[in-house]
Amino acid sequence: MMAEAAFAALPAKFREQMGDVVLRVEDFATQEQLASVDIDNRWHLSGLYEGEPLPDRSIWESGRLPPRIWLFRQPLIAEWRETGVRMDDLVRHVVVHEAGHHFGFSDEDMHWLEDKAD
């Protein structure tokens, strides 16, 4: 699976801290997932991180579901068709972006890092 390959390609120091993260693939986000990121159109969300970012976790908390990275198949396919970007590149981008949320990076932080890398 492309998502697993993208996950496995993360640098070891990051991968080691993502041991409990679960990768999930669905056709579309649920209405609750869309609402959680203030998006109305299900075609506009290709990935989502759900969970407590590492910097916000406490050793005193237990019983939570493991963090999850969701990939939404239909929006990814639509973006692939629209842009012509290779599907594995799109999936890798989404996995890396959502993994960034696991480490506490904001969308703005990740856009800044991506811009600096170009």
Contact indicator for 55, 103 with CB cutoff of 8 Å: yes
What is the pLDDT, as a whole number, of residue 20? 84
Distance separating alpha carbons of residues 104 and 20, to the nearest angstrom: 16
Q: Between residues 27 and 16, which one has the greater pLDDT? A: 27
**Confidence grade of residue 57 (pLDDT, cut at 50, 70, 90):** confident
Predicted TM-score (pTM) of the model is 0.84
Q: Residue 61: its pLDDT value, please?
A: 66
How many CB atoms are closer than 10 A to CB 101? Answer: 21
Nearest to 41 by CA among 2, 69, 72, 3: 72
For residue 54, give the 3-state DSSP assignment.
helix
**What confidence category does residue 108 fall into, taking pLDDT thresholds of 50, 70 and 90?**
confident
Q: What is the pLDDT of residue 117?
A: 47
Closest CA to 15 of 2, 24, 6, 25: 6
Confidence of residue 13 (pLDDT cuts 50, 70, 90): confident
b vs e for 83-100, b when ≥16 Cβ sit within 10 Å of the residue's Cβ?
eeeeeeebbbbbbbbbbb
Whether the predicted pLDDT of 40 surpasses 50: yes
